[in-house]
């Protein structure tokens, strides 16, 4: 995929996120978030009993959430180049695209909502009071690192959805993608993000992955 073609496709797919059913799905993420917050589900998930120290699992999910998205497209390009596989090279571009789209969409919403991290995480968190219902609506009132939705989950789910669509007939790719995305969602959504952050990130990720995959004419069905 040429760079000019990739940029053109990226712009078109960004536009597709904000029309039709994709807007409905984004609205559903907001509605589900409201239900999870007022029902106390966010606090409940955050206070689930822990089977020992989860710091290693949190570290893997946190750091892996940054490293894996960088490695995936590079690996696809490298292997595609060695095998002279146009599909693998194109897959690398598509993975990079969905990851960037997921990150940008997450940053956009985080900049508007400014939600603090759960108790024990982030500069504004507290271990003494329940802050699951705290929001700082506006523009950049709470930064774009923590907050709603989870960019870790959105990026992982977007890449997983894309890979599942592209390589549906290859179980090892399908299962590895599903396993990694599920792991990130479960750990992130019960530690340094609220459950609703993870659920919204998952919805956004699926929407992005499907939007990009459906616009590709040569993936395996």
Answer whether residue 101 shows pLDDT above 70.
yes
pTM of the model: 0.89
**pLDDT tens digits, residue range 54-99?**
788 888 888 898 899 999 999 999 999 999 998 899 899 999 999 9
Least confident of 39-43, 121-125, 154-158: 121-125
In angstroms, the Cα distances linking 41 to 36, 140, 175, 190 are 5, 26, 29, 11
d(CA 209, CA 118): 28
Cis bond upstream, residue 52 (ω within 30)? no
Q: How confident is the model at residue 218 (pLDDT cuts 50, 70, 90)?
A: very low
Answer whether residue 112 shows pLDDT above 60.
yes
* Residue 153 confidence (pLDDT): 96
* Residue 53 confidence (pLDDT): 66
């Amino acid at each position: 995929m040429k760079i000019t073609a990739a940029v053109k496709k990226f712009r078109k797919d960004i536009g597709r996120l904000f029309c039709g059913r994709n807007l409905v799905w984004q609205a559903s993420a907001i509605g589900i978030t409201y239900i999870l917050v007022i029902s106390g589900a966010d606090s409940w998930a955050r206070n689930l009993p822990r089977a020992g120290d989860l710091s290693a699992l949190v570290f893997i999910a946190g750091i892996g959430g940054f490293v894996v998205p960088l490695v995936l497209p590079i690996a696809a390009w490298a292997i595609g180049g060695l095998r002279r596989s146009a599909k693998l090279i194109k897959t690398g571009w598509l993975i990079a695209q969905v990851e960037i789209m997921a990150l940008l969409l997450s940053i956009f919403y985080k900049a508007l909502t400014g939600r603090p991290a759960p108790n024990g995480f982030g500069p504004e968190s507290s271990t003494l009071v329940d802050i699951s219902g705290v929001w700082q609506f506006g523009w950049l009132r709470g930064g774009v690192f923590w907050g709603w939705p989870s960019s870790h989950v959105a990026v992982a789910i977007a890449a997983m959805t894309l890979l599942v669509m592209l390589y549906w007939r290859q179980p090892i790719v399908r299962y590895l993608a599903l396993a990694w995305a599920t792991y990130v969602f479960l750990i992130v959504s019960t530690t340094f993000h609220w459950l609703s952050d993870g659920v919204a990130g998952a919805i956004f990720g699926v929407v992005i992955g499907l939007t990009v995959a459906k616009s590709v004419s040569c993936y395996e069905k």
